Structure 1
Amino acid sequence: MSKQTLSFQAEVAQLLHLVTHSLYSNQEIFLRELVSNASDACDKLRFEALNNNALYEDAPNLEVRVTFDKAAKTLTITDNGIGMSEQEAIDHLGTIAKSGTKDFMGKLSGDQKQDAQLIGQFGVGFYSGFIVADKITVESRRAGLKPEEGVRWTSGGSGDFEVETITRPARGTSVILHLRDDAEEYLNAWKLKQVIAKYSDHISLPILMEKEEWKDGELITPGDENGGRQPGGMVKTGEWETINKASALWTRPKKDITDEQYAEFYKTISHDHEAPLTWAHNRVEGNTEYTQLLYIPAKAPFDLWNRDKKAGVKLYVKRVFIMDDAEALMPSYLRFVKGVIDSADLPLNVSRELLQESRDVRAIREGSTKRVLSMLEDLAKHDKHDTTANADGVTDVVDADDKAKEGKYTAFYAEFGAVLKEGLGEDFGNRERLAKLLRFASTTSDTASVGFADYKARMKEGQEAIYYITADTLAAAKNSPQLEVFKKKGIEVLLMTDRVDEWALNYLHEFDGTPLQSVAKGAVDLGKLQDEAEKKAAEEAAEAFKPVLAKLKEALKDKAEDVRVTTRLVDSPACLVVQDDGMSTQLARMLKQAGQQAPETKPVLEVNAEHALVKKLDGSVHFHDLAHILFDQALLAEGGLPEDPAAYVRRVNALLV
C-alpha cells in the first residue's frame, strides 16, 4: 500500500473555508449534491459500458445506497457506478478542473443563497459535504481495475488531503461523512428520506436505504435495580427498500407531476437555487419520437457570455444518459435553456460528431426551438394582461394561470434579451417569430418594453419607416443630436443599446412590411412628415451655404467622406452619419475594441446652417480650427474619441483665450 499527503489547489482551499463557515443555513444541499454525483457516476458507467460490457463486472443493476451509523456518527452515500482510480481521485477531489475557476472564486460572496447555487453550478458539489462533516473519507475503485487498485481519499477540509491504495472488491464509490455534533439530525432515517424525497425523487436509479422496524424494550431480570424494561427503538432489519420513485421524471404523465416536483427537478439539473420562469413537458411522436422537458430560467448565469463554456440540454436515448450539454439539440441563441431530451430513435453510441450530422437530431433541434419560442410567445402575450373593463362595462375574468404569467416576459427579457437577438443572424427560419419577441427602449419609454408591433401601432400618419438609433448607453442614445428633428416632430425612435444590436440588425431590414431605418445612416427623408415649406427652406440654406461647404470639405478631407447641410439637427451645430450601405461608426469602434479588423471608412459630417457656431465659419480667421472642432465634437457626441485628443484640446483652448 502507498500513502501520500497532498495539498489542495488554492481555489479549493478557499472554497472549503467558505463551505465550513458560511453555508449552515443551506445544510440540506449537501445530500442533494452527493446523491446527484452518485447518480452521474452510474450514468457514466452505463455510457462507457455501451462499448465495454465487462465494466458491469458481476453487478449489472445500478443503484445508490444511503446508510448511517449512529455510534460512529457517519453517513455514507455509496454508488456502484464508474468509480475512480487513484489519479482520478487526486485530480477530481483536489482541484476544480473548470475553465471558469477564476470567475467562480471571484463570485464567492458570503451570500449563502448565491454561494450555494454556485457550488452546484461549477461541478464542485462534493465539497458541500463539509457543510455537515468535519472529515470526509472517499473509498473508490474504477470499473475495470483490479480490487487491489482501489483508493482511499481522506481530508478534514483544511489545507491538504491523504490518498492511499486499498483493496476494494466492489466497483464504484463510497463517500463517508464524519458528521459534526450539530449535524446529527442526518443520522435519522426519517430525515434522510424527507430530504431525498424533496431533492432526488426524480432520479431514475433506485436510492436504497435499509428498512427499520420498531423493537420493544426487553424485560429486565426481576430484582435488577433498573426494573421494568430496557428502552425500545428503531432497529435495522437487513432488508433494503427503494425510497425514491426511481423513474425519470420526464417519463411520468404530466398529470402525476406537481409544479413543486418540476421546480425541484429543474434546480437539480441546473444547480440554480431559484425556480424557473416556465417549462414545457411534451412527448413528440411522428417520424422522430422524443420526450422534451425544457425550462426557461428566471436569472441568467454570470458566465452566459463565456464562449468556452459548453451549453445545452441533457441527452438521453431510451432513458440511458448519453451526455450533458448536448449543444446540437438547441441553437446557440437559446443556450440559456435547461432540460432533458430523451430520444427513442438515436443510437446508444451516438457521439457529439454524429449529433452534428443526424437527420433525427435536426428534427429534434427544430422541434425544441419552436417549443421554446412558443413558451416565450405565451409569456409575452400575458405580460401586460390584466383585469380590464370592456366597452359594455363587463369586466374580463383573468385566469389564474394567466395572472401568474404577468410580468414574467419583462423579467425574462431583462436577463436574456441580448442573447435572443443573436437568433436574427443564426435562425433564418424563425426570424419573424424572433422579431416579434424583441423589445427596446424608445424616445417614449426608458425601459426595454417597446416591440416592433407596438411601435407600428403608434406610427404617425404618413410615416413610412420604423426609426431606430444604436448607441453604447441609453443616455448617449437619448441625447444624440441625430434625434433632434424626430423629437421636434414627435416621431418615436427606438433606442438600441445592446452591443449585439448593430450586428443583429444587419439581418433584419423590415418588420411586417415596414422598413427599418437608422437615423444615423443616409440623409433624412421624412417623406410626407416634412411639409413643402420645410423642404424649400432646407434647399435654399444648402444653396446659400455651398461656398462654406466647399471649404469644409477641403479642411476635413482626411476625416470626412463628405460635408453637407443637414435637415436632422435643430439645436446642435453638427453630427456624423454614414452612408446607407456603410458600417456605423459604433460598430467599427466595437470591432476595433475586440481586436478585429474594421474597414477604413470615413463618416459624413452634417452641419446645421442655422446654428450660430456654423454661421461664424464664414470669413473666420480660425476657420481651419473651427472645422476640426465641429468634427471632433460631433464624434464626441456619439460616444467616439478624436484621433488626436491633445490637438482637439489645444484648438478649444486657443479659442477660449
Structure 2
Amino acid sequence: MSEQHSEQYEFKAEIKKLLDIIIHSLYTHKEIFLRELISNASDALDKARFEQSRSTEMASADAELAITITTDAEGKRLTITDSGIGMDKDEVVDNIGTIAHSGSAEFLRKVAEDQAQPDNIIGQFGVGFYSVFMVAAEVTLTSRSHHPDAKPVRWHSDGLGSYTIEELDEDLPRGTSIEIVLREGEEEYAEKERIEAIIKRHSNFISFPIFVDGEKVNTIPALWREPRFNVKKEQYTEFYKFLTYDTEEPFETLHISVDAPVQFNALLFIPQKSPMLFDVNNIEYGLDLYVRRVLIQRENKELLPQYLGFIKGVVDTEDLPLNISRENIQENVLIRKIAANIHKQILDRLLKIASNEPERYEQFWREHNKLFKLAYAQFEHQDKIKDLVRFNSSHCEDASGLVSLQDYVERMPEGQNEIYYISGQSREAIESSPHLEILKRKNLEVLYLFEPIDEFVLESLRAYGEHAFVAAEHADPAQLEAISSDEEESKEELTEEEQRDIDGLLKAMQDILGDRVTEVRSSKRLHNSPACLVNPDGGMSSQMQKIMHLVNKDESIPQKVLEINPQHQLTRNLLHIYQQEGSNDFIRKTTEQLFESALLLEGYLNDPHALVNRTFELLQQSSGWYAEAHQKE
C-alpha cells in the first residue's frame, strides 16, 4: 500500500477559538457527539439513496445502506462507518476542514437546481462533527466519494492546532469511516452497552440500520412516519411500551399527520394509569421532540399544556429550525403552531370517546381527573373542557357516580336558571350541610365537589351555556320560590307579635356575638337545621375562603352572617324565653352554642373545648327541666 504526500494545515486563530467553544461549551452532554456523527452518517446515506434513485453510476453500487459502529474497549477506540455518498479531497476540505460550512446545505442547493430534493437531510451548520473532540484525543476520518474514479482521502486531527489531509491509493468501499481515539477519562464511549444506550436514546429512529459490533440496535421503527392504515394495534402497543416502559397497553392512541401550516407527525398515547403519584405540580411531562427522526429534546413542555401532562408520545417535524447545538429551539412560533394542533386533536378525541363511549370515558376521568382539572388555568378551548369535566352530584346513588354538565342541564326543572354546587371532604359531610336544605326541598340537583381544585375549575369556567355556577350557600331563596316541588312545606307563620319579638331576639344574639359575625338574621333557606353561617352577599364560597386562608397562612375566623331558622323548635323555645325574660344567660349560652356548632360544620372551630363543656352544661340544665316536668306529671 502506498500513500500520497500528507498535507498539513493550521487552524486559524478564530477557528481555534470556535473549536474550543464547540468542545467545551456548546453541548450540555458529551454523549451528544454520537448523535451528531450518526446524523451526519444518515445524511450521507440519504444522499447516496437519492443518487441511486437517479440511476447515477456509483462506486460500491451494491453496498448496503447502513451505519456500522465498532467498539474497542481495550484500545479505547470507537469507529463509526457509513456506506453513504462519501467525499473526495475537495469536499473534505470544504465540509470538514472548514468549521460552520454545511455540506448538507450545499448539497440541497445543488439538488434544488434539478428541482428535486432528497428527504431527511439533517444538519444546517456543519459543526456537529467537531463535537467529537469533547471525548476524542485524536480523530481520523477516511472517506471515498461515490464517484467511481475518486480517490479515498484521509483527514486527521487532535483538535488542538492543526489537521492533515492526504489522498490514498487504496481501493476502499464508498462511504465514510471515523476512527476515534478517546481521551483519558472518556473510556466509557468504547463500551458496547454505553453506545447502544446512547443510540436508543437519541438516534433509535434513524431510517437506516445501525449495527454495533455486528448487532442491529435500532429495531423499533418510527411508526409515526408510517400511514395509519399500515400500522397494527400490536405495533402501537409495542412502540408505547418501548417509549414508556409501561407493562400495560395504552388506553388510547392518536396518530397525527399534518402538512400545513407546519409539517409534522406525532404519535401520542393516553396511558391506562395516571403518572401522578403525589403533587400534580411537580409531575414530569412533555413530548419527545424529533427533527427528521433525530431526538432533539426529551419531554418538551411547550408541546403540551400541563393539564394534559398524562399524554406520552413523540413529535417529529420537517420544518423546525435549530440552533447551532440542536439543543434549543430557534423559532418558538412553529412549536406553538404544532402545540395548538396537538392540543385541539387530543380534546377532540376525548370528546369523541365521551360521546360514543361514556363508560369508557368515565374510566379515563377516574384515572386522570386530578391532572386534567388543572385546565381551570387554561383559557383556550373552554367550551370543550366544559363538556369533558365530570363531577359527583346529588343525582348519583353514591360517591362513585359521575355526571357531565350537559347531563345536569338536561335534568334541570322549569324555572331553574343556575347550576348549584357544594364542596366538602366527603359525600356524607356534604349531605349533612344545612346549605343543601332548601335545594333538597325543591328537588334540585347539586354538584358535589370533593377536591379543593374543583371550585377553581367552576370559577374559571363560570357558566355552562346560559347557566352560571352558584355555590349552594349563595342560592337565592327568592328565586327558588318560583320552582315547584313535589312536597311543599307547611310553615306555621309567625304572628305579628312573634315577628317583632324574634327581631329583638336576633338583635340580642348579635349583641352576644359582637364582631364575630357581620349580622344575625332570619333564614329562608333552612328547614331542619336551627342555624348556619353564610358569607355576606357577594362573598366567595366557604370552601374557597378556607383555601385562600390556607394559602395566605391566615388562621383567623372570617366574619360571616349567622342565619337562624325561625321555624325550628329550638328557635321558638328561645323566643318564648326571650318574651318572658328578655336576653338571659341561657340565651347567651345557646347563642354561643349555635355559633360554634356552625363554625364546626364550616371547619373553622380549631378548639372545641368550650363547645363541649357548654354542651355538658346545657344538657345538665335541660335534663333537670325534663326530669322536673315528668315528676309533675
**TM, length-normalised to structure 2:** 0.63
Counterpart of 1:649 in structure 2: which amino acid?
Answer: V
User: Structure 1 residues 420 and 206 mapped into 2: Cα distance closer, same or farther (>3 Å)?
Assistant: same
Decide whether aligned partners of structure 1 residues 169 and 422 sit closer, same or farther in structure 2, where only a CA change above 3 A counts. Answer: closer
- TM-superposed deviation, 1:439: 0.9
Partner of 1:420: 372
The corresponding residue for 2:339 is 365
SS of 2:290 mapped into structure 1? strand
Summarize the alignment of residues 296-307 of structure 1 with structure 2, pairs less than 5 Å apart: 296-303=270-277, 305-307=279-281
Q: Give the letter aligned to residue 253 of structure 2.
A: W
- Residue 468, structure 1, aligned to residue 421, structure 2: yes
**How far apart are residue 487 of structure 1 and its match?**
1.8
Q: Is the 8 A contact 2:320 2:331 kept in 1?
A: no
1:260/1:290 CA distance change after superposition, 3 Å = same
Structure 1 residue 324, shift from structure 2 partner: 1.2
Q: Find out whether 1:456 has 2:446 as its counterpart.
A: no
Structure 1 gap ranges (5+): 1-40, 68-77, 82-140, 149-164, 177-196, 211-239, 385-406
Q: Is the 8 A contact 1:521 1:579 kept in 2?
A: no
**Structure 1 position 64, deviation (Å):** 8.6
SS at structure 1 position matched to 2:193: strand
The aligned counterpart of 2:353 is 379
Deviation at residue 302 of structure 1 after TM alignment: 3.6
Identity of aligned residues (%): 32
CA apart distance, 1:581? 2.9
Amino acid at match of 1:409: Y
Counterpart-to-counterpart distance in 2, 1:357 and 1:608: 64
Pairing of 1:1-16 with structure 2 (within 5 A): none
1:528 is the counterpart of 2:482 = yes
Q: Identify the match of residue 608 of structure 1 among 562, 565, 586.
A: 565
**Residues 310 and 327 of structure 1 are in contact (CA less than 8 Å); yes or no, is this contact kept in structure 2?**
no
Tell whether the 8 Å contact from 2:322 to 2:328 is kept in structure 1 after alignment. no
* Residue of structure 1 in register with 2:590 after alignment: 626
1:339, distance to aligned residue in structure 2 (A): 0.8
Matches of 2:207 and 2:31, distance apart in 1: 10
Alignment of 1:201-220 (within 5 A): 206-208=209-211
Residue 509 of structure 1, aligned match among 440, 445, 462: 462
1:551 aligns to what SS in structure 2?
A: helix
Counterpart contact for 1:483–1:519, Cα < 8 Å: yes
* AA partner of residue 602 (structure 1): Q
Structure 1 Cα separation of the partners of residues 79 and 431 of structure 2:
60
Alignment pair present for 1:641 and 2:604: yes
- SS, match of residue 500 in structure 1: helix
Give the stretch that moved more between structures: 414-423 or 353-362: 353-362
Counterpart contact for 1:466–1:493, Cα < 8 Å: yes
Q: In 2, are the aligned partners of 1:462 and 1:528 still within 8 Å (CA)? A: yes
User: What's 2:514 paired with?
Assistant: 557
Relative to structure 1, is the Cα distance of residues 349 and 448 closer, same or farther in structure 2, using a 3 angstrom cutoff? farther
The separation in 1 between residues aligned to 2:480 and 2:323, in whole angstroms, is: 61
Tell me, yes or no, if structure 1 residue 499 matches structure 2 residue 456. Answer: no
For residues 258 and 566 of structure 2, the distance between their equivalents in structure 1, rounded to whole angstroms, comes to 65
Mapped contact 1:471–1:496 kept (Cα < 8 A) = yes
Q: What is the rounded CA distance, in whole Å, between the counterparts of 2:325 and 2:536 in structure 1? A: 48
User: Measured at CA, do residues 353 and 506 of structure 1 come closer, stay the same or move farther in structure 2, by a change above 3 Å?
Assistant: farther
Residues 196-595 of structure 1: matches in 2 within 5 Å?
206-208=209-211, 240=214, 242=216, 247-303=221-277, 305-349=279-323, 358-384=332-358, 407-426=359-378, 428-445=379-396, 446=398, 447-521=400-474, 523-524=476-477, 525-529=479-483, 545-594=502-551
Instruction: Give the Cα–Cα distance (whole angstroms) in 1 for the partners of residues 484 and 253 of structure 2.
Output: 49
The 1:535/1:302 distance shift into structure 2, 3 A limit, reads same
Give the Cα–Cα distance (whole angstroms) in 2 for the partners of residues 352 and 305 of structure 1. Answer: 32
Q: Which amino acid is the alignment partner of residue 193 of structure 2?
A: V
Letter of the 1:563 counterpart: V
Distance in 2 (CA, whole Å) between partners of 1:334 and 1:647 is 48
Letter in 2 for 1:418: K
CA distance in 2, matches of 1:642, 1:608: 21
CA distance in 1, matches of 2:325, 2:563: 57
Q: State whether residues 442 and 495 of structure 1, in contact with CA within 8 Å, keep that contact through their aligned partners in structure 2.
A: yes
Q: Which amino acid aligns with 1:633?
A: S
**In the aligned structure 2, how far is the partner of 1:527 from the partner of 1:47?**
72
Separation in 1, partners of 2:444, 2:533: 20
CA distance in structure 2 between the aligned counterparts of 1:557 and 1:449, rounded to whole angstroms: 43
Structure 2: segments with no counterpart, 5+ residues: 1-28, 44-64, 72-77, 82-130, 139-182, 195-199, 579-583, 621-633
Give the Cα separation in 2 of the matches to 1:536 and 1:286: 68
* Structure 2 CA distance for partners of 1:174 and 1:79, relative to 1, 3 Å: farther
C-alpha separation between the residues in 2 aligned to 1:355 and 1:530?
61
- 2:62 aligned partner: none
Q: Does 1:656 align with 2:619?
A: yes
Mark the CA change 1:629 to 1:64 in structure 2 (over 3 Å): closer, same or farther.
Answer: farther
Q: 1:613 to 1:291 in 2, by over 3 A?
A: same
1:607-626 C-alpha deviation (Å, 9 max, x unpaired)? 21122222333335322221
Residue 174 (structure 1) aligns with:
192
Q: What CA RMSD, in Å, does the superposition of the two structures yield over aligned residues?
A: 4.3
SS at match of 1:557: helix
Question: How far 1:409 moved relative to its partner?
Answer: 0.9
The count of residues paired between Structure 1 and Structure 2 equals: 458
| Kept after mapping to 1: 8 A contact 2:530/2:571 | yes
Q: Which amino acid aligns with 1:654?
A: E
How much has 1:500 moved relative to structure 2? 0.4
**Contact 2:280–2:371, Cα closer than 8 Å, also in 1:** no
Mean alpha-carbon deviation: is it higher for 540-549 or for 482-491?
A: 540-549
Would the alpha carbon gap of residues 377 and 604 (structure 1) be closer, same or farther in structure 2, given more than 3 Å must change?
same
Amino acid at match of 2:480: L
Partner-residue secondary structure (3-state), 1:556: helix
Change (3 A) 1:355 1:373: farther
Q: Which protein shows a greater Rg?
A: 2
Measure the CA separation in 2 of the matches of 1:334 and 1:610: 50
Shift of 1:562: 2.0
Counterparts of 1:412 and 1:316, CA distance in 2: 28
TM-score by length of 1: 0.61
Q: What is the rounded CA distance, in whole Å, between the counterparts of 1:608 and 1:512 in structure 2?
A: 34
SS at structure 2 position matched to 1:275: coil
Contact 2:321 2:330 (8 Å CA) reproduced:
no
For residues 260 and 614 of structure 1, the distance between their equivalents in structure 2, rounded to whole angstroms, comes to: 70
Q: Contact 2:70–2:80 at 8 Å: present in 1 too?
A: no
Shift of 1:290: 1.3
Contact residue 288 and residue 363 of structure 1 kept, 8 A: yes
Measured in 1, the distance between the counterparts of 2:600 and 2:526 equals 16
Alpha-carbon distance in structure 1 between the residues aligned to 2:333 and 2:515: 55
